[in-house]
Structure 1
Amino acid sequence: MDRKGVASVGECMLELSARPDGAWTLGYAGDTFNTLWAIRALTQLPCDYVSAFGDDPFSAKQTSFFAEAGIGVAASPVIPGARPGLYAITLTGAERSFTYWRSDAAARQLASDGGKLAKSLEDRALVYFSGITLAILEPGARSVLLAAIRAARAAGSLVAFDPNYRPRMWLSSDEARATIAEAISITDIALPTFPDEQALFGDVDPEATAERLRRAGVREIVVKNGADPALVVDRSDSYLVPALRVDAVDTTGAGDSFNGGYLAAVLDGRSPLDSAALAHRVAATTVQVRGALAPYQTLRIAAGLG
């Protein structure tokens, strides 16, 4: 592949994850970063996380963590005086809940320099973003981001999008629907989760979600549905791909890692059906570790690459 790898756009936060002994572990995670992590684990393609970063010690540690994992930051701006967002995971069994501190996070300024943003997305094999990426931005910044992604697509990049609807992040459901619909209009591969789509668009079943997206022009659609089978729809066919049943320890990042496994397989030239089967294996592995990020080698073994 001649193009320069993968750019994933969004917010990576500091992650506090509760341990069984009551202590807390500091890590780094966020939906689009979790997806990029899985892609980086499963491919040899260059990977960049496109965001904005602060100039504080935590931001420096964050980007150092990226570099150690083989992930760059392209031309992402550094915002003087800014810092990363923070969230804490608490678990009831394997199910998680989150508490956030992110209202002034540096990532909210990721589209503050349109030239740097365009440079970060230039000549990519894949550009990936999510509804959360859009939700953290003010309307003007959203327009800058969508224009940059549209230009990258016009220049030959594949665009993948997970709507990842989180109601509390939007001023209204109408705003969310309109913004996500605009994002869908520039999407090649859509990776929605059915309960989110049902909540926002009133879809009665995953087939309705897929049909709505197909009518909007998306050529490849994967509707995730928790422990139920994923519905995969491409131009010629549709498939139900069963999830794997495992004893989950922490479900944080399950859908994100599914997306990463799927997109890594697509970039490797695999069919949508094979890509979804691999993605389920990656997701099943992720929920058996604490936190959002499973070690690279663990993911590679799950994908049959170890």
Structure 2
Amino acid sequence: MSQPVHAIPTTLILGFLGVGKTTAILDLLRQKPADETWAVLVNEFGEVGIDGAMLQTEGAYVKEVPGGCMCCVAGLPMQIGLNQLIHRARPDRLLIEPTGLGHPAQIIQTLTQEHYLDVLHMGPVITLVDPRKLGDERVRENVHFRDQVAAADILVANKTDLCTPAQLSDFDRWASALEPAKQQIFHNGSNGMAADWLHGEPDQRPVSDPHAHGHHRHDETPPPEPADIQAQPWQMVENRGQGHFSLGWRVHPEDVFDESQLLALAGDESVVRFKAVVRTPDGWRTMNVVDGVVSTGPTEPRDLSRLELISESVIDAPALDRLVRSAAGREPVQ
């Protein structure tokens, strides 16, 4: 890979599952100077690349690393994706969004290794936190959440427009007591992320469990390329790890989904996250359901529909596949 003349300003944006990282990156992409090229390396726990599909709407170069944490296997999937993205886009700025179930230490180690010293200029690590989650002991004690917070130079209370004053006060007290202290602590509500937060230098911050990945299942090779959608118009893929299970679909664009049926499926209490970019009778739509909060909206036509759900319990894939097929009119409603 040929090296650029100037090292690429690079920002790692961390956050636990469902905190709103993709929306935050969309905020930043809308502030991109017209004469600059920005690129995004996005990693998802699932296999179907929904976040990448959403990010492509803002004109950035996007490379997806699906199927779990991209730093596993000695960082091989991450390095392959990163090298391909830099070679193709030659960006003026690079944003990296790891999965919300990923561990930051090995990602940072990969980005700061000798091979990338003259290629990437690392900016401050930004971690998003949902203040509403701080009252949940399962989140506070989760090793990924703790290490994402520990790695942060800049800590951002995200979705503050959905928080109560008491939740924001609790966040401020908690954040200000962290040691070592953060460079900056911000609130991010309906106004969105500020591009100024990308500038600066990172600190060397210890994490609580740099060997957390040793406890997790991961494959020994990067995930295979998905099948051609014309040859295989209905594709269902599964993934598991970090105490979570995912089920995703890649579907031919001629299939038309009933939005209300999909949202009913997403409302099941076992589903902790549901995302989709699908064709409906009203055109192409995005759907995002997390913590019972539903966000939907129009989007531009895509080359295929993508759906994904994540659960903390084992998924009955055949039963859910029948429901999704029913929403596409492929099977009668049971």
| TM-score bracket for this pair, using the shorter chain length | 0.3 to 0.5
Query: Who wins on radius of gyration, i.e. which is larger?
Result: 2
* TM-score, length basis structure 2: 0.39
Instruction: Specify which structure has the higher proportion of strand.
Output: 2
* TM-score, length basis structure 1: 0.42
